[in-house]
Structure 1
Amino acid sequence: MSSTDRIERELVIDAPVERVWAAITESDQIVKWLGDFAEIDLKPGGRLVFGWSEHGRFNAVIDEVEPTSRLVYRWTTESGVEVTDGNATRVEYTLAPEGSGTRLRLVENGFDALAFAPEVRAAKHADNVGGWQSELDELKVYVEA
């Protein structure tokens, strides 16, 4: 696995697990920190859509849901297309209590398997590295407020 296949980020949020879980799984809360549109059918095989006015809408399919502890989905790297092999990466959130707060771990991988030229895959990875840094910082601020 190359250094451009995977993104890992871990942070401690000063809020209970249930509050963080709601922020990553309820559309009215997702839009407070991740984009400006969200739609979620929270079940394996359920559809998830994230939208940003400047980037478009990105479709996802939920693979796993373990309430308050784990959410896994595959999402497209291109606006407006359905999830298929070769156009999606896998995102996994893991939540665990830590003191009175929550340890959130995010892993996104699968960039090397995208059906794009190597430089395009690397650019998509770099975009998401910066994107997750910004978005998870916003999540922390939102949930702790």
Structure 2
Amino acid sequence: MVNMTDNPPSVVDEGTYTVRRTIRIAAPVEKVWAAVTEPEHISRWFGRTVLEGSGVGAEGTMTFDGYGDVPIRVEAMDAPRSITYRWGNDDALGHLPDRVDEATSTVFTFTLEPVDVGPVAGGAVDGGVNSATELTVVESGFELTSDPAANLRAHGEGWVSELDKLVALFDGDALGSDVLGSDVLGSAREGAA
């Protein structure tokens, strides 16, 4: 999988059955939080997301073109710093389950950290400091899947592709300059200018 941003690729750890990727996004934490927690925003860069309810315990699906409906559930949340999802996304199984099954599903956590990238010429919206967000995703539980090695590889590549789309969303590149709407992206771009 080709990395389309300056961010490093995913790190696959076969010893702990985890995939990890850390990226930097030119937007404040609050904007990135909306992009990884609100279904209408997730749908613009990841899979079309529908959740029944909100917060911990909310369940639904993520739909990927050519792949199908992946069951998903919110497992934990510490707004606006981290959110954990569980999903039944075993690529090697050959079919998708109807519901999240703890015995065979993986868990992924987005952790957000603010990054001060220094003063901005002409001042910025947030008092002259340009802010960004470091977003780390860690997916674990691959030892429970039908083919841990194949799923680690597939998900490692998947996180490169999907998180590059998130970066592009905030950069206004491939996905259009106003995909998240002016309420989310407008302020992010002003703060990162």
TM-score w.r.t. the length of structure 1 is 0.89
CA distance in 1, matches of 2:41, 2:139: 21
Which of 108, 125, 132 matches 1:91? 108
Give the root-mean-square deviation of aligned CA atoms: 1.6
Q: Does 1:144 align with 2:171?
A: yes
2:75 maps to 63
Please identify runs of 4+ aligned residues in structure 1 that moved more than 4 A.
none
1:6 maps to 18
Unmatched runs of 5 consecutive residues or more in structure 2: 1-12, 91-95, 117-130, 173-193
Cα deviation per residue 1:74-94 (whole Å; 9 max; x = unaligned)?
Answer: 110242421112221010000
1:112 is paired with a residue whose SS is helix
User: What pairs with 1:1-145 in structure 2 (closer than 5 Å)?
Assistant: 2-3=14-15, 5-35=17-47, 37-40=48-51, 41-78=53-90, 79-99=96-116, 100-114=131-145, 116=146, 120-145=147-172
Query: Which protein has the bigger strand share?
Result: 1
CA distance in 2, matches of 1:86, 1:2: 19
CA distance in 2, matches of 1:71, 1:48: 15
- Please say which structure displays the higher CA radius of gyration: 2
2:56 is paired with a residue whose SS is coil
CA contact (8 A) 2:14 2:152 kept: no
Cα gap change, 1:4 to 1:53, in 2 (>3 Å):
farther
Aligned length, in residue pairs:
140
TM-score w.r.t. the length of structure 2 is 0.68
Unmatched runs of 5 consecutive residues or more in structure 1: none
2:106 is paired with a residue whose SS is strand
Cα deviation per residue 1:50-96 (whole Å; 9 max; x = unaligned)?
Answer: 11120001011111111111100111024242111222101000001
CA contact (8 A) 1:23 1:29 kept: yes
